[in-house]
Chains A and B, each alone.
Chain A
Amino acid sequence: MMETVKQIQESLAKRETKPSEWVAKALQQIDAHDGQIGAFLTVDREQALAAAKRLDETETEQVERSGPQPLFGIPYALKDNICTEGLRTTAASRILENYIPPYSATVLHRLEGAGGVLVGKTNMDEFAMGSSTETSAFQVTHNPHRVGHVPGGSSGGSAAAVAANMVPFALGSDTGGSIRQPAAFCGVVGVKPTYGRVSRYGLIAFASSLDQIGPFTQTVEDAAIVLNAICGFDPLDSTSTQRKAERFDEDLAAGVRGLRVGVLRHAVDGGVDAGVAAAFQKAMEVLKDAGAELVEMDLPHLDYAVATYYLLAPAEASSNLARYDGVRYGRRVEAATLLDMYEKSRSEGFGREVKRRIMIGTYALSSGYYDAYYLRAQKMRTLIRQDFTEAFATCDVIASPTVPTPAFAIGEKVDNPLQMYLNDIFTIPANLAGLPSISVPCGAVDGLPVGLQLVGQAFAEKTLLRVAYAYEQMRGFERSLGSEEVGQ
């Protein structure tokens, strides 16, 4: 078992333990279990130990100088699409197999400033395109709750690393559910903050208008603590919000009495697995018992969300991925002509799913098709935003299962992209509308975790966390589901 961020904070504050002990523990867990799970692409052992040792030695001095650092001495992992200066960053793609960034992402600076210790980079779907981490060019990641099942994706490595107790927290990125879906599959907490809350500077872009970095943690309280550290304005990201930083862990225990929880009518439709629907309904009863008012509601354009997303995200991706041309960095296949070099470098460098999306996106933006696809999708995005605005007139948060099914078996959906895409039906709308959303474990189906998703109004993360925390306290089970799990 890995202690929570909160528990490690308290232990370090009381000087019962030292940072290097926690980093060593994380590395031991990785050594013991990652052979089976495959969560990490890179483990930065020496750097992590050296950083922890420095923290051991300078702790007193540091506290005297600038007060306690919120993540002092706490080990963590980053999804491998977050740039780390001097440390290989691949986005799980052959085209960036040996890419060493010359700079670091803003979130890395923030976590370093908060005293955190990076232990490694986690596996993901190539360029974050996928829902199972199976499109990684390098390795398969297994669900710690059942080896042979997917951890979800695209941030599957980060979710599995927290679920298998290798790190107390990890960061991922969420474009259409890539944090919340793997959090649900792996039985951990995952948060996609409001678009603009966390700087995207240094996050390898998939779809710039949808991407957002967020945490995986064991508890809602830990998620709030990590959000405190990573949120805030960044002059290097024009889309980052100028809003003042907030203390997300402040009102966690304020309860849900008087809050209206919108229950999405679609949530228990035919498309949702019966076990998932049952777990969700039980969660709604827990919230009702805790004092929340349940309101039935609808998002009239929900049925179009998946189609809208699978036009807009590939369109942006087709442009974002144009820079991988073999000219300045990354994989280059030498050829006689420039065009040949482009074609060979890109055909060898990108995997099937990435190529599929580049083609869809290129098509959607092409003259003659732009109006029918890209422009219509943009209009639908506006309608979906309006759906939320109207919905929030009657409720404070919107609840649904995070995913219609529990984790599926590795290889089960890999040849059926459409079925894979439909997995994202509940998570995509929050990205299209730029809203904050959380997935919190709400039970299991045959030993596989199920997630409860809550979506809040823009910048209302605190309300979201408050509801999730209340549920977590009242749900009547621990995160750990049983001895079958890897990493206990």
Chain B
Amino acid sequence: MNYETVIGLEVHVELKTKTKIFCGCRNASGAEPNTHVCPVCLGHPGTLPVLNEEAVDLALRAALALHCHINQDNKFDRKNYFYPDLPKGYQISQYDRPIGEHGYVTIEVGGVEKRIGITRLHLEEDAGKSTHSIDGTHTLVDYNRTGVPLVEIVSEPDIRSPEEARLYLEALRSILLYCRVSDCKMEEGSLRCDANISLRPLGSETFGNKAELKNMNSFRNVERGLEHEVVRQTAVLSSGGTVVQETRRFDEATQTTLSMRSKEEAHDYRYFADPDLVRVHIDDVWMESARAQIPELPQAKMARYRRDYELSAYDAGVLTAEVEVARYFEELIAGGVPAKTASNWVMGDLLAYLNSTHRTMDQSPVSPAQLAALIGEIESNRISLKQGREVFRLMAESGKSAAAIIEERGMVQLSDESALGSILDEVLANNPKSVEDYLGGKEKALAALVGQTMKATKGQANPGIVNKLLLEKLAGKKG
């Protein structure tokens, strides 16, 4: 029998606010344990939460960017459960009125656009981080993360393959990065993903028993974990078995999933409205100002690049995948660089250099203005493209401008035809074999002669002029 895969994702994203959601502590990761804490986020007796409106603002922006319907009257609820990393014994969350509902993300699968529905997006506080000792005798808790604002984004069960799950996550991450609501670093936990997956006979409308997948720390692992589940569940069903409804953990070492608990614990969270907080009304003015904070989103940008700059789908995709890359590209264009040239530089030398030095675009040592100036030098034939690429490397390493490096190194392009002419005569005289080959019909020999000329001029010869003169001289010999 053929089975259809049904996947829904629950994504938690930390919001990039200055302070925590209900107290004045800094929202920053990487600090010494328990240094960004206060009586409020430690849940001391008598303390009270006060809502940080910046968190609402970022959640609202994210919900709008994901095409959600916005609930303008917001309340907060308590989700009650005991755990050492949850200081109050309850998590402040939004239960029956999430800030956003009924949104969607568009992905492209095999060249076809597909919408993945978003059931809800709600605001809540993060818990602390527990570290269990290896011998199991004690647990250490870091409360720095306690009270960091989160949005939980729950998708509809619209995802039909592990690949679609990855595409959805990539699209979602890209939108959130564009909106500057989170830095979405899965390795650091600022984006976390749980997946629900089930199979059903192709054509069936009812859902099969699902497994909830946890502990995947990269998009690639989400895809792999789901792939493994498809194989596992198919085997169970094909042999006439039933999939156990349970929580499973992705095991990175074996690239498989393992059962976490045999019996699903029945949680009763006893939700009720938090009496310590008042309702938050998002008025139309607030809605509009949040909307104004949403930039052109990746899909719209990609379409525009393809249309206006005639870039390929692949190039437009690379340039818009990260907002900083797109911004850099657009600044080059604003600096007068032709789109195709700008695209080549960004996707070529610039990204290669950043990757090799493990840097991100916002850490680029060469600014768009500096790169535009370098490209100007090449376009005006002052230096060759080959020289330009060398200059770029030197700029990246030294931080100096293109002009300064060209000056320092005396890198001037030889475009003077009479000067080049005598060098060419010499090259032709020294390479009779190549000349002969060319005249004998081997056109490739021309490249060897150009190469020799460049070598003789230490790369300073204008390749266009070299080509032209060579062809003229060889034509003369033919005659």
Interface residues of A (CB under 8 A from B): 81-83, 89, 91, 96, 99, 101-103, 105, 200-205, 207-209, 235-239, 315-316, 318-319, 321-325, 327-329, 338, 342, 362, 365-367, 370, 374
Contacts and interface: CB of A to CB of B under 8 A. Distances in A.
Contacts of B43: 323, 328
Contacts of A325: 82, 84, 89
Interface stretch (B47-55, B58-66, B176-184, B416-424): B47-55
Interface of B: 39, 42-51, 78, 80, 82, 84, 87-90, 139, 141, 268, 270-272, 275-278
Q: Would you list the 10 A-B pairs with minimal beta carbon distance, nearest first?
A: A322-B89, A209-B275, A365-B270, A208-B275, A204-B45, A202-B46, A83-B46, A323-B43, A204-B46, A103-B39
Contacts of A239: 275-276, 278
B278 A105 contact: no
Contact of B141 (A207, A235, A318, A327): A327
Task: Classify the secondary structure of A's interface with B.
Answer: loop
A321 B45 CA distance: 9
Contacts of A91: 45
B90 A238 contact: no
Contacts of B47: 103, 201-202
Given A103-B39, A202-B46, A342-B82, A208 B276 contact: yes
Contact of A101 (B46, B51, B270): B46
Nearest to A104: B46
Contacts of B51: 238
A241 to B, nearest CB: 11
B46 A205 contact: yes
B272 A329 contact: no
A366 B270 contact: yes
Contacts of A102: 39, 44
B81 to A, nearest CB: 8
A317 to B, nearest CB: 11
Task: Classify the secondary structure of B's interface with A.
Answer: loop
B270 A235 contact: no
A319 B82 CA distance: 10
B80 A322 contact: yes
B88 to A, nearest CB: 5
A434 B39 CA distance: 27
Given A319-B80, A322-B88, A325-B82, A238 B44 contact: no
A39 B39 CA distance: 29
Contacts of B45: 83, 89, 91, 96, 99, 101, 204-205, 323-324
B88 A323 contact: yes
A322 B272 contact: no
A374 B272 contact: yes
Contacts of A316: 272, 275
B49 A238 contact: yes
B124 to A, nearest CB: 16
Given A83-B44, A89-B45, A236-B50, 19 more contacts: A81-B46, A99-B45, A101-B44, A202-B47, A203-B46, A205-B46, A207-B275, A237-B50, A238-B49, A238-B50, A239-B278, A322-B80, A322-B90, A323-B43, A328-B87, A329-B44, A342-B82, A365-B80, A370-B270
A102 B90 CA distance: 21
A207 B274 CA distance: 11
Contacts of B87: 323, 327-328
A422 to B, nearest CB: 25
A428 B212 CA distance: 47
A167 to B, nearest CB: 22
A103 B46 CA distance: 10
Contacts of B49: 238
Given A208-B276, A323-B43, A342-B82, A237 B48 contact: yes
A329 B37 CA distance: 14
Contacts of A235: 50
Nearest to B266: A367
Contact of B84 (A99, A327, A367): A327
